[in-house]
Amino acid sequence: MLLSVERFEARHGLLHAVRGVSFAVEAGETLALVGANGAGKTTLLRGIAGAHRASAGRVLFDGADITGLPAHARVPLGIALVPEGRKLFSGMTTEDNFRVAERRGRPGPWNVERVLEVFPLLRPKLKARAGDLSGGQQQATAIGRALMTNPRLLLLDEVSLGLSPVAVEQLYISLRGLMRDGTTVILVEQDLTRALAVADRVICMLEGRVVFEGLAAQTTREEVLAAYFGLGTAVASR
């Protein structure tokens, strides 16, 4: 098992954002993490990446307990986060954003040329300032920057948020290619239709807890929506 999250809890001050969450992800799997705003998805993703401290529970990566490791120590192990809002170095060029990540990553097949093969829309923008890119180009740059660390686990937080339908479609074409190539992905996505279409499994969170878990191919949108809005008390799993 590549990733195991065991009874993970996290807080924002007095707010109990994530409450006893447990799940596992196999190498090569795509897991969609869905739920309403405030459900705890982003905090959970940041906790896996080491950007938010756990208040209880454990995170195991390839069998090793990494709960106490800071984010910068998890990157060389192969964990990369694409945060909500992209968080690019806006005054630097697209290429420089890639190079910064490359220096902090691990050895592997990802380099600038391979990223440009996955995101060809960035080729003419390689020397452009990241802050001058369109929303879709910025999101592609953020994902490309994460790939430059040669991750074993790619964490994607709200990749389609704020993008035009055309940009979202282009982005997901590239993401499907990554998933077919065996990249392990945890995807936070508000668009349930897209999440179910690309994921192997889906987990729905509500008020910091897992309230539904199932195989995406056997899960209907209606089942997820029922869990999404708390229309039931038992955790469903299939």
Q: Provide the 3-class DSSP secondary structure of residue 161.
A: coil
Report the C-alpha gap between 187 and 146 in whole angstroms.
14
CATH of the domain at 149: 3.40.50.300
> What is the predicted pLDDT for the residue at 78?
96
> What is the predicted pLDDT for the residue at 219?
92
Quick one: what percent of the chain has pLDDT higher than 70? 97
> What is the predicted pLDDT for the residue at 23?
98
> What is the predicted pLDDT for the residue at 22?
98
What is the DSSP-derived secondary structure letter of residue 235?
P
Match 């992800």 to its residue by tokens: 25
Q: What's the whole-number mean pLDDT along residues 67-81?
A: 96
Cα-only R_g, the chain: 17
Which pair of tokens denotes residue 183?
A: 């990249």
**Angle of the 135-147 helix axis to the 165-180 helix axis, nearest 10:** 20
How sure is the predictor about 234, in pLDDT bands with cuts at 50, 70 and 90? very low
pLDDT digits (tens, 9 = 90+) for 179-190: 988 899 999 998
Report the C-alpha gap between 202 and 188 in whole angstroms.
10
Report the chain's mean pLDDT, rounded to a whole number. 93
pLDDT digits (tens, 9 = 90+) for 109-140: 999 999 999 999 999 999 999 999 999 999 99
- Residue 10, domain extent: 3-237
User: How would you classify residue 13: left for phi > 0, otherwise alpha for psi between -120 and 50, otherwise beta?
Assistant: left
Q: What pTM did the predictor assign?
A: 0.92
Q: What's the whole-number mean pLDDT along residues 189-202?
A: 92
pLDDT digits (tens, 9 = 90+) for 163-182: 888 888 988 999 988 898 88
Cβ contact 179:30 at 8 Å: yes
Q: What's the whole-number mean pLDDT along residues 57-86?
A: 95
Give the H/E segment covering residue 65. strand 64-65
Please report the sign of the dihedral spanned by the C-alpha atoms of residue 210, residue 214, residue 215, residue 219.
negative
Residue 232 has pLDDT above 70, yes or no: no
How sure is the predictor about 159, in pLDDT bands with cuts at 50, 70 and 90? confident
Domains held by the chain: number = 1
Q: Give burial (CB, 10 Å; 0-12/13-18/19+) of 223.
A: middle
Cβ contact 125:164 at 8 Å: no
CA 119 to chain centre: 18
> What is the predicted pLDDT for the residue at 6?
98
Length of the chain equals 238
> What is the predicted pLDDT for the residue at 233?
43
